[in-house]
Structure 1
Amino acid sequence: MALTREYCDDRARDAAEAASLATLDNVRRRELRSEAAWREMSDRIRQTENARSIREAQRRAEQALIARESQPATD
């Protein structure tokens, strides 16, 4: 199963809620570490998605330029 930002964000919220409800310090710390890890994964996914979008836009622009240049000139 591929991780999604939404899944990671949901797990981070769950961990944050569990941390706020924890009565034991070690459990609270564990849940806070879990929250941080899920948020980091979500951030990485977001960065990857942004980079992919930029690459795709550049590729489309290059293809459009090539298509324009390959058309015969009309005078």
Structure 2
Amino acid sequence: MAGAVIRNTNLEFFTARADQARAEAEAATLDHVRERCRRSEEAWNALAAKAARSEKLRAEEALRKSQQVTT
């Protein structure tokens, strides 16, 4: 169970960092700073998407294994 907590925390962390980068981009007055923040947001969103996919696959695999044990 502790592993699931770590993965959820990573997903939440990645999402929070993307939100922070988005807010910084919106507040930026310099174009190069705004673009840097947007690139950062894109990278954090990609990490969050990967973490979400991994979590989904782990859950599906756990379900598949639990069904094998019970049959």
Bin of the TM-score, shorter chain as denominator length:
0.7 to 0.9
CA distance in 2, matches of 1:51, 1:9: 19
Q: Give the structure 1 partner of residue 58 of structure 2.
A: 52
| TM-superposed deviation, 1:55 | 0.4
Q: Give the structure 2 partner of residue 21 of structure 1.
A: 27
User: Rg larger in 1 or in 2?
Assistant: 1
Q: Give the structure 1 partner of residue 37 of structure 2.
A: 31
- In the alignment of these two chains, the number of paired residues is 65
Structure 1: runs of 5 or more not aligned: 66-75
Per the normalisation by structure 2, the TM-score is: 0.86
Identity of aligned residues (%): 29
Name segments (4+ residues, structure 1) moved above 6 Å: none
**Cα RMSD between the aligned structures?**
1.6
CA distance in 2, matches of 1:10, 1:56: 27
Per the normalisation by structure 1, the TM-score is: 0.82
Structure 2: runs of 5 or more not aligned: 1-5
Q: Give the structure 2 partner of residue 68 of structure 1.
A: none
Q: For 2:13, which of 7, 10, 32 is the aligned residue?
A: 7
Say which structure is richer in helix: 2
